[in-house]
Structure 1
Amino acid sequence: MDVADLGLPVDVPSTALFTDQYELTMLQAALKGGTAERRSVFEVFTRRLPHGRRYGVVAGTGRVLDAVENFRFDERVLAFLRERAIVDEETLKWLAGYRFSGDIWGYPEGEVYFPGSPILRVEGSFAECVLLETVILSILNHDSAIAAAASRMASAAAGRPLIEMGARRTHELAAVAASRAAYVGGFATTSDLAAGFRYGIPTVGTSAHAFTLLHDRERDAFQAQVESLGRGTTLLVDTYDVAEAVRTAVEVAGPELGAVRIDSGDLLLVAHRVRQQLDELGATGTKIVVTSDLDEYAIASLAAAPVDAYGVGTQLVTGSGHPTCSMVYKLVARADSADPAAPMVPVAKKSTGGKVSVGGRKWAARRLDRDGIAEAEVLGTGPVPDELAGQQLLVRLIEDGEVVAREPLDVPRDRHIAARAALPLSATQLSRGEPVLPTEYAQGLSGS
């Protein structure tokens, strides 16, 4: 994949500097200490969901695969590290030949997760795995937060289409990633052309208030837009007087007018008035699109309104109040020597303050009740119980350094719809609550 396809500036040769300095200094120390080649297992998980959330959504997996594949230390990157004296020459020589050659397993993109879920498992030498921590967490924390917000909004919309339009409310590269994550979470379209170009997401867009203000009369603006884009276009009707604008819009476009957009005011009240007016004017097929700083709660409050689609920006690209998932990347097992045949030893952080981890290379399965509805997230080490063998969640994403699980973006989008539908009904409630599934630890594990 070309660097441009990752959304990187053209003068950035790889993803290798999307990292923290201490990962390189740890590498240097491990090389000197003889531990760099010890086989290791790192896991990505979160200790808790954002306050009040009932499930999380895995998103960004496809971007992680691209980032790992493009994690290369070329001459420009090595020169930077040398000039800053960040690591020594022995380490620079090692980095020059870096290629991840291990295995990565993970929850498939679009799947839901819960506290403790091993969302991603990275296996290889300590040296090659430790370097990937920051770039993996950066992608998964951001994209999963957006997808979780999108999923809640999609539930609240109850089948009405959602338009992602948050590009002007976040960093230009984050906007592309946010659009992708929103699509996985259930949004139908985006206004961001870079996201459409890079990921094939359907794009939409017509006009802003500036276009109306450009013209001497609102009628002239509507006429120009209809002549250019056709009667099926969406006309923005709240620049001046909404009732007058709706009347003018139907006069200009006729009853075939595609839609009107409302971007301000009491949306519930205005939507009802606009629907009545459109019907009285014979534009019974004209749809109503609402925007204006919506979140899942505002969308839910409009459930009884005659609204056909929602456009969401700021609240979506900021995770609706939770812009990160607090995922961490922890070493959970390592060999007791550099010998390739050395046995693996579970390791875990045991410090106080609630930041402990659970050691061991884990499997994860979702136990279902007799009706096929999920009732628990079960984690363990060692053999998987027979009754859970068919419900395992982790799939192989990279094998011996080669990506083996790329998929079209519609696949994780459909997967998320199915995963959410298999949760208890309370999962879609917007009221604050505990995770909808408990996390259970088997084979002597204990979670915190």
Structure 2
Amino acid sequence: MTTALRTDRYELTMLEAALRSGRAGRDCVFEVFGRRLPGGRRYGVLAGTGRVLDAITAFRFGQAELDWLADERVVDDATLAYLADYRFTGQVEGYREGEVYMPGSPLLTVRGTFAEAVLLETVVLSVLNYDSAVATAAARMVSAAEGHPIAEMGSRRTGEHAAVAAARAAYIAGFSATSNLEAGRTWGIPTMGTAAHAFTLLHDSEEEAFRAQVAALGVGTTLLVDTYDVRQGVETAVRVAGPQLGGVRLDSGDLPTLVRETRAQLDALGATGTRITVTSDLDEHAIAALRGTPVDAFGVGTSVVTGAGAPASGFVYKLVARRDGTGADGGAWKPVAKNSVGKRSVGGAKRAERLLRDGVAVAERVVVDDDGDGIPERDAADAARAEGLTARPLTATLMRDGEPDPQWLGPEGVRAARAHCAAAVGELPAAALRLSPGDPALPLVTA
């Protein structure tokens, strides 16, 4: 399915004007970055990169799209002729999916002609802004859970397409499973789910409902015990399934108190191996409040798919360098930057590296390359060693000549991003994992 019309009208009107002015063929460098971290968070997690590569590959104007643009008189005939043959043939570099980022991090660099690259702004930002918001919130919840598994179950709290993207982003950030079957099919994410309160209410008694569920799913299932009275529900659950009952779920009430009481009751009934899963509008702060209780697993819905109050990451897509001319040599590269009040950008193509001391991140260094080729004029590793640090490159090639590197795509790309996220968060200093508002965990320095 084409992604060509998942864009804003002004992308096409800029293209039309640039074709008329003769500047559409200028080689350009666009960059995605964020000016700040939403909500005073101390780090962000980049997600959606693999989906962006898919979206760029699918950015094609078929006859149906061209006919609609013509009927609506969005652009002129010359622009329609350009769009009919549009294929992105440029380069894309950026942070690996799952990477930790700071304000000003050069997250994605798109190189191509102005005409090729400007059309991608909206589709790139719509993916990265949402997916990274979910991943950042999810990473904070994973840290708060201190190793306990968390399932994503927020499909009913967002759009049907966003639900699949959210499950993917949460899994990259460390969630263990999703309730969304399409996310499982498309991205290879483990799926989970048993029964809602409606299943209990369908039957003439709680005991009858539990017996039906156990008969269908086995004694290893998880029974929802708070439809009526939690204590009675736990007693009925163990009586029906026996002490081998897999788990019980609590979805309401004073959770810290209920978890302790439920654990004591289960143990007294001989169900010492029965796990306790907690749901009920959890976020990272509610999860942290359950530390020290005998909770075994969490399920999070609304909070994770809405970015825990920050549903967009605040990323922008800005032109940072261009050539003076067009054609084979194109002329010299020129850094360009926006200088608006409160929205100043830094011109020039960039690469980045994470500086570490004894395996702990201490800074993020951005190398500005004024000649536009993105290649630093020094050896980053040697420079870091001179400072008693090690440097981990953050910028990788994602797409070359319009073709994405397959390692970033599909379920395999998601699994790689999940592993990379765990490693990147693991490098952060301990203060970065605090849930209270604060400054970014790492300073950004330029070279």
TM-score normalised by the shorter chain: which range applies? over 0.9
The answer for unaligned runs of 5 or more in structure 1 is: 4-13, 443-448
Q: Distance in 2 between matches of 1:427 and 1:259?
A: 33
**Aligned residues: CA RMSD:** 0.9
Are 1:412 and 2:417 matched, yes or no? yes
Q: Distance in 2 between matches of 1:202 and 1:122?
A: 33
Moved more, 372-381 or 56-65: 372-381
Q: Which residue of 2 aligns with 1:446?
A: none
Q: Which residue of 1 aligns with 2:336?
A: 347
Of 241, 255, 266, the match for 2:254: 266
Q: Distance in 1 between matches of 2:137 and 2:60?
A: 33
Of 417, 422, 425, the match for 2:427: 422
User: Structure 1, residues 324-367: CA drift from partner, whole Å, max 9, x if none?
Assistant: 11000000000101133111100001122x10110000111111
Q: How does 1:352-371 map to 2 (within 5 A)?
A: 352=341, 354-369=342-357, 371=358
User: Structure 1, residues 114-144: CA drift from partner, whole Å, max 9, x if none?
Assistant: 0110000000000000000000000000000
Are 1:399 and 2:400 matched, yes or no? yes
Q: Distance in 2 between matches of 1:147 and 1:406?
A: 17
User: Structure 1, residues 407-441: CA drift from partner, whole Å, max 9, x if none?
Assistant: 41111001000001111111111111100001112
How far is the alpha carbon of 1:50 from its aligned partner? 0.9
Do the aligned partners of 1:153 and 1:299 also contact (CA within 8 Å) in 2?
yes
Are 1:36 and 2:37 matched, yes or no? no
Q: Distance in 1 between matches of 2:408 and 2:315?
A: 23
Do the aligned partners of 2:353 and 2:392 also contact (CA within 8 Å) in 1?
yes
Q: Secondary structure at the match of 2:93?
A: strand
Q: Which residue of 1 aligns with 2:440?
A: 435
Are 1:18 and 2:9 matched, yes or no? no
**Residue identity opposite 1:350 in structure 2:** N
The answer for unaligned runs of 5 or more in structure 2 is: 370-375, 383-390
User: Structure 1, residues 4-46: CA drift from partner, whole Å, max 9, x if none?
Assistant: xxxxxxxxxx100010000000000111111001000000000
Do the aligned partners of 1:234 and 1:260 also contact (CA within 8 Å) in 2?
yes
**Residue identity opposite 1:378 in structure 2:** R
**Residue identity opposite 1:346 in structure 2:** P
Of 364, 371, 387, the match for 1:377: 364
TM-score by length of 1: 0.94
**Residue identity opposite 2:333 in structure 1:** M
Runs (4+) of structure 1 exceeding 6 A deviation are none
Q: Which residue of 1 aligns with 2:289?
A: 301
How far is the alpha carbon of 1:372 from its aligned partner? 2.0
Do the aligned partners of 2:26 and 2:323 also contact (CA within 8 Å) in 1?
yes
Q: Distance in 2 between matches of 1:358 and 1:52?
A: 22
Residues 58 and 384 (structure 1), Cα distance of their counterparts in 2 relative to 1, 3 Å cut: farther
TM-score by length of 2: 0.95
Do the aligned partners of 1:44 and 1:328 also contact (CA within 8 Å) in 2?
yes
Identity of aligned residues (%): 59
Q: Distance in 2 between matches of 1:268 and 1:331?
A: 50
Q: Distance in 2 between matches of 1:377 and 1:338?
A: 34
Q: Distance in 2 between matches of 1:157 and 1:245?
A: 26
Q: Secondary structure at the match of 1:148?
A: helix
How far is the alpha carbon of 1:387 from its aligned partner? 4.2
Q: Which residue of 1 aligns with 2:388?
A: none
Do the aligned partners of 2:102 and 2:444 also contact (CA within 8 Å) in 1?
yes
How far is the alpha carbon of 1:59 from its aligned partner? 0.1
Q: Secondary structure at the match of 2:38?
A: coil
Q: Secondary structure at the match of 1:340?
A: coil
Do the aligned partners of 1:272 and 1:306 also contact (CA within 8 Å) in 2?
yes
Are 1:104 and 2:105 matched, yes or no? no
Q: Distance in 2 between matches of 1:366 and 1:257?
A: 47
**Residue identity opposite 1:414 in structure 2:** A
Q: Which residue of 1 aligns with 2:207?
A: 219
How far is the alpha carbon of 1:385 from its aligned partner? 3.9
Q: Which residue of 1 aligns with 2:124?
A: 136
Do the aligned partners of 1:367 and 1:388 also contact (CA within 8 Å) in 2?
no
Q: Distance in 1 between matches of 2:253 and 2:194?
A: 21
Do the aligned partners of 1:366 and 1:388 also contact (CA within 8 Å) in 2?
no
Do the aligned partners of 2:354 and 2:361 also contact (CA within 8 Å) in 1?
yes
How far is the alpha carbon of 1:268 from its aligned partner? 0.4
How far is the alpha carbon of 1:392 from its aligned partner? 1.8
Q: How does 1:249-264 map to 2 (within 5 A)?
A: 249-264=237-252
Are 1:190 and 2:178 matched, yes or no? yes
Q: Which residue of 1 aligns with 2:79?
A: 91
Q: Distance in 1 between matches of 2:226 and 2:340?
A: 57
Are 1:333 and 2:338 matched, yes or no? no
Q: Distance in 1 between matches of 2:120 and 2:437?
A: 34
Do the aligned partners of 2:368 and 2:446 also contact (CA within 8 Å) in 1?
no
Do the aligned partners of 2:355 and 2:392 also contact (CA within 8 Å) in 1?
yes
**Residue identity opposite 2:439 in structure 1:** E
Q: Which residue of 1 aligns with 2:385?
A: none
Q: Secondary structure at the match of 1:244?
A: helix
Q: Secondary structure at the match of 1:195?
A: helix
Are 1:234 and 2:222 matched, yes or no? yes
**Residue identity opposite 1:216 in structure 2:** D
How far is the alpha carbon of 1:80 from its aligned partner? 0.6
User: Structure 1, residues 123-167: CA drift from partner, whole Å, max 9, x if none?
Assistant: 000000000000000000000000000000000000000000000
